[in-house]
């Protein structure tokens, strides 16, 4: 009798394991304007289930062994409108294609991290266990001291949220480099991701979400995360935009993960322009120049043609380019509008003002003009220069690594 009972239990366990092995999977791609989109957070939620994946460099994702039932699958990435779809998992595997469409935000950056396995030097470093040292310049980060919350009960939060550090660190690691300690800025690593915080209501400007967890390096401590979520503006309620794209076309930008990546990001932004928006393009290398005078967002063909005609070559006179960009923005100022210079560069200011302090002084002189500055950085170099520009202008830094 006892032996028979054990046989029945073993059979049930084997059947349960077989059912788990043969459970269907959900796989697919996330695509947008111009092809697959990497780095998209894909969430699968159902009764008592919440799975999360991130698309790879080909925009692909996969959920294995999904129990049968009805689920919501959601794709989200900063700068794109969320996509939701209801799916039913039965017996067969599901293959999906999710589409993301760009939305108007402070800045739009597409970060594409392709595998580096085809680079023999990277493979050699990975096999041998050694890493190459990066020559990037990073501003020193002072570590914060502990504060007694019972005595210092207030803090501030920033509307100017930087996210550059995560993409930069990820690019360094995938390229086989050591990561300098000053390249790791914890707040930017956390802010890189999109969190599903509730929107504020009843006229309150912000919602507050808190979460407490254990401290991995000291079990006696606790970590408290405070999430602040502002209200979302509808596109119809947004002020008209007057944008001046200040694009670095120097010789150092002549790489696939620099100027071409910037051009792709600008095309995404142009697709969302309205007729009341205006765009100009200033370029700088050995000399600065006006590639596109201020143009209505309705004339997308002219704007896209100017973007497509950009090419890299020469040295970098960043200071003169910034001066011209502010001049164009001031001449076309829209009262009560979003007047902004968008600087796209690898930060290699090798002609003219080159140090972080000189760049800081240059931006400080322009800060009171009523025109804001956003910084879009590419490559893994000159992080200190980009961070200085963004901080002095109350802007957003993004470093995109292709």
> In this model, does residue 178 exceed pLDDT 60?
yes
pLDDT score for 318 = 60
pLDDT score for 100 = 85
pLDDT score for 27 = 93
Residue spans per domain, the chain = 23-102, 195-232, 235-400
How would residue 102 be classed by pLDDT, with cut points 50, 70 and 90? low
pLDDT tens-place string over residues 327-365:
999 999 999 899 998 888 877 654 454 455 666 676 777
> In this model, does residue 238 exceed pLDDT 70?
yes
**pTM of the predicted model as reported, rounded to 2 decimal places:** 0.55
Stretch among 53-62, 266-275, 380-389 having the lowest mean pLDDT: 380-389
Cα separation values, 306 from 352, 375, 395, Å: 26, 20, 25
CATH of 235-400, one of 3.30.450.20, 3.90.650.10, 3.40.50.410, 3.40.47.10: 3.40.50.410
The proportion of the chain whose per-residue pLDDT surpasses 90, expressed as a percent, equals: 19
Dist. CA 175–CA 114, nearest whole Å: 10
- The b/e string for 41-55 (b: 16+ C-beta within 10 A; e otherwise) is bbbbebeeeeeebeb
> In this model, does residue 15 exceed pLDDT 50?
no
> In this model, does residue 400 exceed pLDDT 80?
no
Query: In CATH, which superfamily holds the domain spanning 23-102?
Result: Immunoglobulins (2.60.40.10)
């Amino acid at each position: 009798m006892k032996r028979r009972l054990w046989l029945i239990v073993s059979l049930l366990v084997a059947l349960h394991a077989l059912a788990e092995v043969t459970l269907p999977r959900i796989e697919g791609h996330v695509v947008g304007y111009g092809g697959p989109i990497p780095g998209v957070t894909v969430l699968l939620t159902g009764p008592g289930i919440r799975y999360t994946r991130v698309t790879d460099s080909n925009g692909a994702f996969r959920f294995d062994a999904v129990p049968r039932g009805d689920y919501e699958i959601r794709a989200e990435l900063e700068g794109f409108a969320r996509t939701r779809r209801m799916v039913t998992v039965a017996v067969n595997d599901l293959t999906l294609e999710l589409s993301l469409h760009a939305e108007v935000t402070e800045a739009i950056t597409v970060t594409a991290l392709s595998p580096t396995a085809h680079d023999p030097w990277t493979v050699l470093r990975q096999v041998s266990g050694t890493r190459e040292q990066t020559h990037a310049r990073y501003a020193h980060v002072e570590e914060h001291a502990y504060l007694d919350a019972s005595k210092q009960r207030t803090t501030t939060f920033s509307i100017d949220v930087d996210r550059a550090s995560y993409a930069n660190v990820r690019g360094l690691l995938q390229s086989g480099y050591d990561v300098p300690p000053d390249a790791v800025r914890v707040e930017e690593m956390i802010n890189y991701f999109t969190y599903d915080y509730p929107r504020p209501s009843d006229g309150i400007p912000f919602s507050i979400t808190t979460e407490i967890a254990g401290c991995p390096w000291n079990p006696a401590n606790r970590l408290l995360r405070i999430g602040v979520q502002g209200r979302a503006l509808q596109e119809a309620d947004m002020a008209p935009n007057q944008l001046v794209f200040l694009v670095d076309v120097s010789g150092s930008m002549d790489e696939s993960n620099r100027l071409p990546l910037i051009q792709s990001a600008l095309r995404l932004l142009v697709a969302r322009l309205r007729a009341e928006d205006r765009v100009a393009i200033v370029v700088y290398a050995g000399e600065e120049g006006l590639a596109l005078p201020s143009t209505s967002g309705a004339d997308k063909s002219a704007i896209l043609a100017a973007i497509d005609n950009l090419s890299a070559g020469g040295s970098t006179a960043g200071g003169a380019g910034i001066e011209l960009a502010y001049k164009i923005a001031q001449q076309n100022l829209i009262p009560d509008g979003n007047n902004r210079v968008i600087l796209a560069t690898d930060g290699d200011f090798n002609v003219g003002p080159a140090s972080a302090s000189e760049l800081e002084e240059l931006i400080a002189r322009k800060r009171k003009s009523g025109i804001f500055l956003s910084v879009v950085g590419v490559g893994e170099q000159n992080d200190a220069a980009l961070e200085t520009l963004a901080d002095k202008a109350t802007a957003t830094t993004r470093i995109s690594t292709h």
